[in-house]
A = this chain, B = another copy of it.
């Protein structure tokens, strides 16, 4: 990673969703690498933004509190940037079903206006978009590679799919160099633990540290998890490899693990905790996708990325972080 980090020295980098889980972890890494970092975040309490996420680097970044739907401010902020890490998004599947229009405004309309701003005011910018495996829906086969049909099962998946395709289109038609990473379950310090809006593992960690049993729905479903530092590696690599442009890449991890085993591993990593295994609630069952894990061969072969952090270690450092800082996340 040393060479990679060097390539960001004195570079102007804009991160939307920059006070969120992955965006702020990127910011910490980029500040250490000598980049000039601007963060855009709405601090909408339903999303992942949290000022504590830039604890320690608050004087070394410019935190611009604004919404990506505000196209006037985005037009200004995008100018002069070398790289845009475009991570702002509505991520809650249930919220997207309850309020589909807001999901569309953020995940489609704002993305289009960001890309229009790039095209008109900063066409040489480099863009990496945070996409999601959610758009694959219920897999036809496992592991899921990028040739798998996109068949989203919720409004969020549909809108993220459109958002991803705008990026690929602006790359192909207008030469705004963009790539997309289809994230799987990402975990680690700075994730939202207040509720399950960002990841179910957030609420597990919170309840465990509060001494309450957490709930495992179903239990047999297979999943894959990336440590946030590994996901951040992928963003940095995608921003610096020309081979990434115009492509959407799966992230992922091996081996897949059942939710039940994940719960056991979390309790083991924490040295404490208990959980209940429950039936799937009916309103979640309709948009449940069964087993899911990614084939990340494409990004491994083309860009050299692979995950490095074992799940046990990711869980251990997550628990350690929230043991110290939980109060800042409630």
Could you tell me the distance in whole angstroms from the C-beta of A136 to the nearest C-beta in chain B? Answer: 12
Q: Does A218 interact with chain B (Cβ within 8 Å)?
A: no
A149–B147 touching, CB < 8 Å? yes
Q: Does A6 interact with chain B (Cβ within 8 Å)?
A: no
B100–A104 touching, CB < 8 Å? no
Residues of B contacting A101 with CB < 8 Å? 109, 112-113, 116
Do A158 and B166 form a contact, CB below 8 Å, given A101-B109, A108-B104, A112-B104?
yes
Q: Does A319 interact with chain B (Cβ within 8 Å)?
A: no
Residue from B100, B108, B172 in contact with A116 in the complex, judged by beta carbons closer than 8 Å:
B100
Q: Does A65 interact with chain B (Cβ within 8 Å)?
A: no
Q: List residues of A (107-148) whose CB comes within 8 Å of B's CBs.
A: 108-109, 112-113, 116, 147
Q: Which 7 A-B pairs have the closest CB atoms?
A: A162-B162, A158-B165, A173-B286, A100-B112, A158-B162, A108-B108, A104-B109
Interface residues of A (CB under 8 A from B): 97, 100-101, 104, 108-109, 112-113, 116, 147, 149-150, 152-155, 158-159, 161-162, 165-166, 169, 172-173, 286-287
In the complex, besides A147-B149, A158-B169, 18 extra interface pairs with C-beta distance below 8 angstroms are: A97-B173, A101-B113, A101-B116, A104-B109, A104-B112, A108-B162, A109-B109, A149-B149, A150-B150, A152-B165, A152-B169, A153-B172, A154-B169, A155-B169, A159-B162, A161-B162, A172-B286, A173-B287
